[in-house]
Chains A and B, each alone.
Chain A
Amino acid sequence: MSSLGLEKTSKMDYDLNRLTERVLDARTDHIYFDFSRVIGPQYAKMVEGFSTAEGNRIAAHNNKTLFLEAIDLWCRKRLGAAQEASGGKKIQDPRDAIVYAMKPWYEALELDNPSEYKMKRREPAPIYVGDEADAVATMMGLVACLDITPMRFVFGGRKENGKDSYERVWAKIKADGNWYDSDIMTQGVLGDRPDFPHYKEVEVAL
């Protein structure tokens, strides 16, 4: 038996090792790292600006909840359930969606004066058709790049004849002292928790 309480040959046990590696690898991948550092602080600044205008300022400074929300939101719409038919090419690796998003950013950075960069007409954003669990692990890797931790995989399923049987996996992440479920593969928002009779949570050791 594995530490998960599952038989070694079970599909979810195999997935857990692979998924954990995907999260760990993301921390040292400069594209994930740059991407997180762009969308987290930019989103936080935007929220700060609009909330201030409404008289209810939410500070952007190292606001990990907002950083997490940005990544959750982006991943839902580029890797998860909120993807829209864009006519873009189909991709199996979630990293390709991030590479696509960051391409103009890196092209601009290559210039001596990035402000002179002109956006070119782009192909539509790719459509992610790969493994749902890989998308979840990728989202967690992006979150780890900003040290939003601890984080857990949550497996949702049922107990059948005394054995665990899991149907879904999503993330649970602690930001600024609060735990948030992040299930990018279903419609909804950060904090929504899928309903299953049985759950198992496994922390990712970072």
Chain B
Amino acid sequence: MSQSALMSPPPTTGQVIRTSLPDTFDGIRYEIGKMVNYVVQAASDPFMIEHTRAIVDNYSQAAAMSGASLAGVDPRGLAMEALETWCRQHYAYVNDPPNIEVIQTPKRMVKQTMIPAEVTRDVMAPIFEAMTIALGPAVAEYEVPGLTAGDCDEGSTLMNAHCAAWGNGSSEMSAGETDNRIRPIRFRFGGNGGTLHHVWARPYLGEQGIDSDLTEPGYNLGDYSKFEQYEEVEVKL
């Protein structure tokens, strides 16, 4: 497997890249490489930078309007909370097809959440018709959420891409100024019996890693599943 394939740019809109992966640890390494690469690309993507800025700004404003005091709050912690909340509201966990590894770019996933409700209704028209017969006119009032779906690779890449992009593109820092970006950003892998079979995001606030596992609906920031082994892979930004 060539290094150029691993570090090739992410697929553009409408592009699908198919790659045969060996059924060995090389295949897993390739997948991890893709996840890391997609986060790196997202970090400098103006679309992702603007998207994350808007999420955090809206979250901060909502918090301020609700009377919460943000004085003394680490802006990186607040941003991480805002970004995770957004991801949880818009990401649905699904498995990949058997023996097929699929990974979408975070940008594609975000764009899916922006697809107008009337489009989703049109795709699902037969289902809405059946639901209307079963439940009545309330179905017409139903607010279709903006969703994207993916497995744990995609969920962790989505969250890490958000953290990597937030705060990027702002003016250059002067010497001695604190970097207010969320760094470092790592993927954390967990598994049992000598294998790693689950992955989640682990962005850091300085020295402190904050686990974020979107695939677990009841988890808060900092929660993670118990495994026999853990490994972390840092995204070089």
Stretch at the interface among B88-96, B192-200, B203-211: B88-96
Known contacts A38-B120, A74-B127, A119-B122, A67 near B115 by CB under 8 Å: no
Find chain B residues with CB under 8 A from A206 CB. Answer: 97-99
The answer to the question of B126 belonging to the interface, with a C-beta cut-off of 8 Å to chain A, is yes
Known contacts A27-B98, A40-B149, A42-B144, A104 near B122 by CB under 8 Å: yes
Contact across chains for A28 and B120 when beta carbons are under 8 A apart? no
Interface residue count for A (Cβ, 8 Å)?
51
9 contacts between A and B (CB under 8 A): A40-B94, A43-B124, A50-B138, A73-B127, A77-B127, A105-B115, A108-B115, A110-B14, A147-B98
Cα–Cα, bound, A58→B119 (Å): 25
Closest Cβ neighbor of A119 among chain B residues: B118
Q: A70-B127, A144-B98 are in contact. List 6 more A-B contacts (CB 8 A).
A: A38-B147, A40-B94, A45-B92, A50-B142, A74-B124, A74-B126
The answer to the question of A202 belonging to the interface, with a C-beta cut-off of 8 Å to chain B, is no
What is the minimal beta-carbon distance from A120 to any residue of chain B, in angstroms?
A: 10
Contact across chains for B115 and A110 when beta carbons are under 8 A apart? no
The answer to the question of B108 belonging to the interface, with a C-beta cut-off of 8 Å to chain A, is yes
A-B contact count (CB 8 A): 130
Known contacts A38-B120, A40-B94, A41-B92, A110 near B13 by CB under 8 Å: yes
What is the minimal beta-carbon distance from A14 to any residue of chain B, in angstroms?
A: 25
| Chain B, interface residues (CB within 8 Å), range | 35 or more
Cα–Cα, bound, A30→B103 (Å): 11
Stretch at the interface among B55-63, B77-85, B128-136, B176-184: B128-136
Q: Which of A74, A105, A147 contacts B97 (CB 8 A)?
A: A147
Within 8 A of B (CB), among A32-49: 33, 35, 37-46, 49
Contact across chains for A114 and B114 when beta carbons are under 8 A apart? yes
Contact across chains for A112 and B149 when beta carbons are under 8 A apart? no
Report A's interface with B, CB cutoff 8 A. 27-28, 30, 33, 35, 37-46, 49-50, 59-62, 67, 70, 73-74, 76-78, 82, 101-102, 104-106, 108-110, 112-115, 117, 119, 122, 125, 144-147, 149, 206
Known contacts A46-B131, A104-B119, A109 near B111 by CB under 8 Å: yes
Contact across chains for A77 and B126 when beta carbons are under 8 A apart? yes
Cα–Cα, bound, A78→B126 (Å): 7
Contact across chains for A42 and B125 when beta carbons are under 8 A apart? no
Known contacts A42-B120, A101-B123, A62 near B115 by CB under 8 Å: no
Known contacts A27-B97, A49-B142, A119 near B116 by CB under 8 Å: yes
Contact across chains for B125 and A125 when beta carbons are under 8 A apart? yes
Contact across chains for B94 and A105 when beta carbons are under 8 A apart? no
Contact across chains for B123 and A113 when beta carbons are under 8 A apart? no
